Chains A and B, each alone.
Chain A
Amino acid sequence: MFDIMTVFESFIEILKVVPKTLFLALIILVLSFTLGAMITYIQSLNIPVVKQVIGVLQSFLRGTPNVVLLYLVYYSLPLVLAWFLGLFNVTFDPTSLNSTAIVIVTFSICYSVFQSEIIRGALHSLDKDQIEAAQSLGYSTTQVLRKVIIPQVMVEALPDTMNAFLIIIKALSLAFLVTVVDIFAQARLVGAQSFSYLEAFVAAAFVYWGICVLLTYVIDKLENRMRRGYA
């Protein structure tokens, strides 16, 4: 009933899509980090109505599961894009939108909220006197940002950001719903070909587990090294 050899064969098949999954996750991480930084910046400006709107959006993105958001974006984004481009008289076929793009957009938006929390937390930990000291030394704003704020905030934000990377890899398993092939989707395909789903899923579990253990190890090493510089 349960065949170890099939597990091994599935394992090899699944390994083929690991680079693609990691690459997708990396794109989403970078985009969500950029978006998150923008959200943090806009919130710090304290513009009356904008602040409330962002607050509601944050609560919405946090309160709804990723699946629901994925489906929502999958069905509504092409229509919204077509309408928006129509304003500029650009013709756009709603069915031509790539589903990989939809996955990237959805998860970037989902996780930007969490990223903005991480960035805000890291900024809180920064000593305000440091900025004043830099200013009194005659640093320009970009210099303060580049030489004082970013190095220190990065150390604080890095562990959580890398955690978010792992979470994104796991969340990508939903991508099979919109026909994007990642590790989990590949496991389903392999399972369907050999009629042995259980073996394929066990193999996929080992792939995920391996990735996580490896990445956690790398993150720990990196964090230790970065912290040493400021100890």
Chain B
Amino acid sequence: MDIQYMIEIFPQFLSVIPITILIVVLSAVFGLLLSIPVAAIRIRKIPVLSQLMGAYISFTRSTPILLQLFLFFFGLPVLLQLIGFDITNIGAITAAVACLIFFNGAYMSEVLRPAYLAIDKGQHEAAESLGYTPFQKMKRVVIPQMAPIALPGLGNAMIHLIHDSSLVFAIGVVDIMGMATIMSGDTFGMKQVEVFLTVALIYWGISMVSEQIIRLLERRKKRVLRKTGYELKEEEAGYSV
């Protein structure tokens, strides 16, 4: 063990952390945006579309994220060619972000759907009888109640995303893991343990920070829920596999 070496290589990893964060944030934001229509279609049970979305969710859940990454990396150019864009090779980061948005859209929609369904029917009726427009109802009644229920699931999705983003090095993105594989090659296989231990510590740190942020939000959630009188179930926020 060469702790001196670990400290030496640490700054080099710091320079690639923004790439990981960029990928995570982009796919989290657009994944959430994608998951809203998917969840809406599934809740409304729109005939053909609902079955299609069911297949989409089952597909993303049952294939490894690594396989999906490769499918996007090799498949997107072919797909784009079909609709006229002639791009022989798309960037690895584009493919990675597109894939993670696709994956996360399905994952988060399965968080949002039960959260929406958990809201009492009477709440909808009350809002309608007060003459709220659908948008007002969403903003003032549904979302404030949905958010605290969906929060733990969304937090889990975030941590999963951070972990999954470590796989994008497989299609050639130089993120933290990509940097690590380059480095372990540079040292002619002498210091791999140190390199990967450093990477593990960095990911541990990132996960801990995001967990703290989620916990902070959760504390707010408890305060909001106490006001509305919602019964908190024990261990509701457990980290699922």
Q: Chain B residues with Cβ under 8 A from A197's Cβ?
A: 70, 74
User: Could you give, for residues 114-141 of chain A, a 1 whenever the CB lies within 8 Å of some chain B CB and a 0 otherwise?
Assistant: 1001100100100000000000000000
Chain A hits for B71, CB < 8 A: 198, 201-202, 205
Q: Is the CB–CB distance between A213 and B66 below 8 Å?
A: no
Residues of chain B from 52 to 100 with CB closer than 8 A to chain A in the complex: 58-59, 61-68, 70-71, 74-75, 78, 81
CA distance A62 to B207 in the complex (A): 8
Contact, CB under 8 Å: B241 / A68: no
- In the complex the two chains form, is B241's CB within 8 Å of A164's CB? yes
Which of under 10, 10 to 19, 20 to 34, or 35 or more describes the interface residues of B?
35 or more
Residues 147-177 of B at the A interface (beta carbon under 8 Å): 162-164, 166-167, 169-170, 177
Q: Is B21 part of the contact surface with A, judged by Cβ < 8 Å?
A: no
Q: Is B235 an interface residue (CB 8 A)?
A: yes
A174 to chain B, nearest CB (A): 7
Q: Given A2-B78, A62-B207, is A171 in contact with B70 using a C-beta cutoff of 8 Å?
A: no
Cβ–Cβ < 8 Å partners of B14 in chain A: none
Query: Is chain A's interface secondary structure helix, strand, loop, or mixed overall?
Result: helix
A68 lies within 8 A of B196 (CB):
yes
Stretch at the interface among B121-129, B198-206, B225-233: B198-206
A118–B240 Cα distance when bound, in Å, is: 9
Q: A79-B193, A184-B66 are in contact. Are A65 and B163 (CB under 8 A)?
A: yes
Let me know if B62 and A75 touch, CB within 8 A. Answer: no
Establish whether residues A114 and B241, one from each chain, have CB atoms under 8 Å apart when the complex forms: yes
Task: Report whether B241 and A160 are in contact in the complex, using a CB–CB cutoff of 8 Å.
Answer: yes
With contact pairs A59-B208, A65-B166, A72-B193 given, residues A163 and B59 touching in the complex (Cβ less than 8 Å): no
Q: Does B197 contact A (CB under 8 A)?
A: yes
Q: Is B180 an interface residue (CB 8 A)?
A: yes
- Report Cα–Cα, A162/B193, bound state, in Å: 33
Contact partner of A201 (CB less than 8 A), chosen from B65, B70, B170, B211, is B70
CA distance A117 to B239 in the complex (A): 9
Which residues of chain B are within 8 angstroms of A212 by Cβ–Cβ distance? Answer: 58, 61-63
Tell which of B67, B78, B205 touches A187, judged by Cβ atoms closer than 8 Å.
Answer: B67
Report the bound CA distance from A171 to B241 in whole Å.
12
- Taking CB atoms, residues of chain A closer than 8 Å to B203 are 63-65, 68
Chain B min CB distance to A33 (Å): 12
Q: Is B192 an interface residue (CB 8 A)?
A: yes
Asked if A170 and B64 make an inter-chain contact with CB atoms under 8 angstroms apart, the answer reads yes
Cross-chain contact of A208 among B62, B166, B241 (Cβ < 8 A) = B62
Residue in A closest to B75 when the chains form the complex, CB atoms: A198
Check if B238 is an interface residue, CB within 8 A of chain A. Answer: yes
Cα separation A76 to B239 with both chains bound (whole Å):
28
Sorted nearest first, the 3 A-B pairs with minimum C-beta distance are A212-B62, A63-B207, A173-B64
A-B contact pairs, 14 of them (CB 8 A): A65-B177, A66-B163, A71-B199, A72-B193, A75-B192, A197-B70, A205-B59, A205-B63, A205-B68, A205-B71, A208-B64, A209-B59, A212-B61, A213-B58
